[in-house]
Chains A and B, each alone.
Chain A
Amino acid sequence: ETGVTQSPTHLIKTRGQQVTLRCSSQSGHNTVSWYQQALGQGPQFIFQYYREEENGRGNFPPRFSGLQFPNYSSELNVNALELDDSALYLCASSSDGSSYNEQFFGPGTRLTVL
């Protein structure tokens, strides 16, 4: 069974640029959630996708957007990058969108905005 994978591992961008982060869900999972973790903080929920539809969103501006593909992999896009967007971005997958199901996290993408 393949776990959750994310790419790239690290990324350096400058203010105002755009970035796309990618996530492949664990085999058999159709739900993907994205979280932002600033240094020394707990992860903060960005949004969730279930069967290619957005299924809940946290307190993040519209310049944070996402997609889920028919194979349930997902992208997180961030436009007009700001310094405060520097963080570890985590993707988690689970099955069936159920609130009872365990979420499994990937290794994360470290984004640095200069």
Chain B
Amino acid sequence: KQEVTQIPAALSVPEGENLVLNCSFTDSAIYNLQWFRQDPGKGLTSLLLIQSSQREQTSGRLNASLDKSSGRSTLYIAASQPGDSATYLCAVRRRTGGGNKLTFGTGTQLKVEL
């Protein structure tokens, strides 16, 4: 059974800091990994999708890496801003069993302070 863990559960940083969010998964047989942002009470916004054959993806100030063999991914946020405050979720799509579903971590709640 695939399990996804995100560390830390919560993080508070001053504006302008670079930060790293961590995601680990127990089954390395995955199709891809997706990072999402969720504002309170809202739906999920897809940030980055990394296929299992890729090592990293970049979008603006965001960079996500994937090390499939060790079951880890990181989301790097450069020059954080108060508008980045949200919960960040990672999710993996397994290659074996479970169909086409995403398995999510419980998220990292980020607060960027002025």
Contact = CB atoms under 8 A, between A and B. Distances in A.
A58 B2 CA distance: 13
Interface residues of B, number: 27
Given A42-B4, A42-B89, A105 B46 contact: yes
A100 B52 CA distance: 9
Interface of A: 4, 6, 31, 33, 35, 40-45, 48, 50, 55-58, 88, 90, 92, 97-100, 102-108, 110
A2 B44 CA distance: 16
Nearest to B31: A99
Contacts of B89: 42-43
Contact of B100 (A31, A42, A107): A31
Chain B interface mostly helix, strand, loop or mixed?
A: strand
A100 B31 contact: yes
B49 A102 contact: yes
Given A55-B99, A56-B98, A57-B99, 15 more contacts: A6-B43, A42-B105, A45-B102, A48-B100, A50-B100, A56-B99, A92-B44, A98-B100, A99-B32, A100-B51, A104-B46, A105-B36, A105-B44, A107-B42, A107-B43
Contacts, number: 71
Interface of B: 4, 31-32, 34, 36, 41-46, 49, 51, 89, 91, 93, 95, 98-107
A43 B100 contact: no
A55 B100 contact: yes
A48 B99 contact: yes
